[in-house]
Amino acid sequence: MANRANLSRRAAQLHSETLVSALMARALGQPNLVSLAVGFVDRQTLPVEATRRALERIWADADLARAALQYGTTPGHRPLCEVLLDRMLSADRRAAAEMNVSVDDLVLMPGSNQLLFLLGDILLDPGDIVICAAPTYYVYLGALRNLGARAIGIESDAQGMIPEAIEGQLARLRAAGELDRVKAIYLTSYFDNPRAVTIPADRRARLVEIAKRWSQAHPLYLIEDAAYRELRYGGEDLPSLRSFDAEGDTVIYAGTFSKSYSPGIRVGWAVLPAALRGPVLAEKGNVDFGSPHFNQVLMAEVVRSGLFDRHVRELRDQYGAKTDAILAAAEEYLRPLGVDWVRPGGGLYLWVTLPEGLDAGLDGPLFDRAVSEGVLYVPGQYCYPPEGRPAARNTLRLSFGVASPERLRQGVAALGRAVRQAG
């Protein structure tokens, strides 16, 4: 960015064009395009009736309504923190004492995205390193790049990041004298973005153990992004990585209602190690003095009244049906072309691997053909950190949250036609 505007050094590193806006610009004017690019939730599933009922309950209590309209505190509405902690402990089948956690360790955010931003500010100097899965959540890669931080990608299999690969990378960084620049390992622990894989329990324990063992001169934090935890379309919930951190000094847990309830209300939360609470709150005090109190009071009512759990059950049915639809379409239109994918047990994404050598990138032979045929996707290469495991250019991400089953089918069929032309 040019500096005629007299900007700071920090601003000079900022990239204002997002990947999604670049993709959309390429697809401009394409009629009837099925966008499987953006990881939004389905507008039709948004909880209009549940929210109306929760608002009615709040408005029935003039004192509560008035409190909701007043400033809150920087950590956020305590009754919501309490109910979130209870739910985490109950899902993890742990007592607070076993996890060295209390309601004071929770901080409410406008979406878990703010937590990632605040952690960037308080943990990362330019040149500092975050270990990520390869592929990983690409928006976070952009945030790290904006801070001048390094993201190193780790080989991942059907169970998430491979522990031996993490240790190998840490050993190489130690040998290079760079271990003290490694501040955190970032991962999405449930139905991750972009691959929808979930880390099984034994590997969770192992990852926490690795982070603790490599926390020698200074802590190596483990950022557990649990954004998709509730979006499970089969099987059982698994205990969080946080549940394996008995001291509570290693795992930073990030939760959000943006995927499981409403991104327009935007309430997320962090469960923080004690050493990070002060700095996170101090920086959050700078950013916003606390997120909107009204939204926090609303979500407390939504959860307490059982409206949230009911909504999540409905969501699971709806997204489960979409998962079935996109998988059936992939079987029909993509399997015959030698295309493969990770079968999602939850979340919003289908991670697709094309035949070897077929580049899904913006400048490859597939992207514009796919747009012409009527489908927009995210090229997989953008989900790979710039260092570490090299990007697989024959990959792409399809989001099945927004489109209807019928549109999903159309989109996958269009992708099949494009692959056939490009192959």
Question: Footprint of its own copies on residues 50-69 (CB under 8 A)?
Answer: 51-52, 55, 59, 62, 65-69
Answer for which of 136, 291, 394, 399 binds its own copies (CB under 8 A) is 291
Of the pair 224, 373, the CB lying nearest its own copies is at 224
Rg (CA), the chain: 22
Least separation in angstroms between CB 47 and its own copies: 7
Bridge partners of residue 224, in order along the sequence: 187, 253
Cα 185 to Cα 221: distance, rounded to the nearest angstrom: 6
Contact indicator for 170, 214 with CB cutoff of 8 Å:
yes
- Residue 347 sits in the site that holds its own copies (CB under 8 A): no
Q: Which residues pair with 398 in a beta bridge?
A: 350
Q: Which listed range, 81-89, 155-163, 214-222, 380-388, lies at the site for its own copies (CB under 8 A)?
A: 214-222
3-state SS, residue 231: coil
Smallest gap from residue 359 Cβ to its own copies (A):
27
Question: Which residue, 211 or 334, is less far from its own copies as judged by CB?
Answer: 211
Give the nearest distance from C-beta 146 to its own copies in angstroms: 6
Instruction: Determine, following the binding rule CB under 8 A, whether residue 146 of this chain makes contact with its own copies.
Output: yes
16 touching its own copies, by CB under 8 A: yes
- The region of 22-30, 159-167, 171-179, 269-277 touching its own copies under the rule CB under 8 A is 269-277
Judged by CB under 8 A, the number of residues near its own copies is 78
Q: How far is CA 32 from CA 35, 50, 403, 410, in A?
A: 9, 32, 12, 10
Residue 135, preceding bond cis, omega within 30 degrees?
yes
291/381 with CB nearer its own copies? 291
Among 165, 223, 297, 348, binds its own copies (CB under 8 A): 297
Report the nearest approach of its own copies to the CB of residue 313 (Å).
18
Specify the residue, 124 or 185, whose C-beta has the smaller distance to its own copies. 124
Residue 72 interacts with its own copies (CB under 8 A): yes or no:
yes
Q: Which of 289, 309, 338, 343 binds its own copies (CB under 8 A)?
A: 289
Q: Tell me: does residue 317 bind its own copies (CB under 8 A).
A: no
Neighbours of 98 (CB within 10 A): 13
Report the nearest approach of its own copies to the CB of residue 394 (Å).
29
Closest contact distance (angstroms) between CB of 126 and its own copies is 9
Cα–Cα distances (Å) from 198 to 135, 157, 189, 224, 281, in that order, read 14, 10, 6, 12, 30
**Taking CB under 8 A as the criterion, which residues in 112-131 touch its own copies?**
113-114, 117, 120-125, 128
Distance from C-alpha of 333 to C-alpha of 125, rounded to nearest angstrom: 47
**Closest separation in Å from C-beta 269 to its own copies:** 14
CB of 299 to its own copies, least distance (A): 11
Structure tokens at 395: 């990959």
Concatenate the DSSP letters of all residues of 103-122 into one string.
GGGEEEESSHHHHHHHHHHH
SS3 224: strand
Please report how close the Cβ of residue 118 comes to its own copies at its closest, in angstroms. Answer: 9
Q: How many CB atoms lie within 10 A of CB 372?
A: 15
The smaller minimum CB distance to its own copies, of residues 86 and 125, is found at 125
d(CA 336, CA 328): 13
Q: Which of 178, 190, 181, 193 is nearest to 130 (CA)?
A: 181
Tokens of 258: 């943006």
Least distance to its own copies, CB of residue 172, Å: 20
Largest CA distance in the chain: 65
Question: In 3-state terms, the chain is what percent helix, strand and coil (to 5)?
Answer: 45, 15, 40
- Which of 186, 294, 341, 377 binds its own copies (CB under 8 A)? It is 294
Task: Please tell me whether residue 43 binds its own copies under the rule CB under 8 A.
Answer: yes
Residue 295 near its own copies by CB under 8 A = yes
Length of the chain: 423
Q: What is the 3-state secondary structure (H, E, C) of 37-55?
A: CCCCCCHHHCCHHHHHHHH
Q: Is 11 in the site for its own copies (CB under 8 A)?
A: yes
User: Binding to its own copies (CB under 8 A): which residues in 183-212?
Assistant: 183
Residue 14 binds its own copies (CB under 8 A):
yes
**CA distance from start to end of the chain:** 38
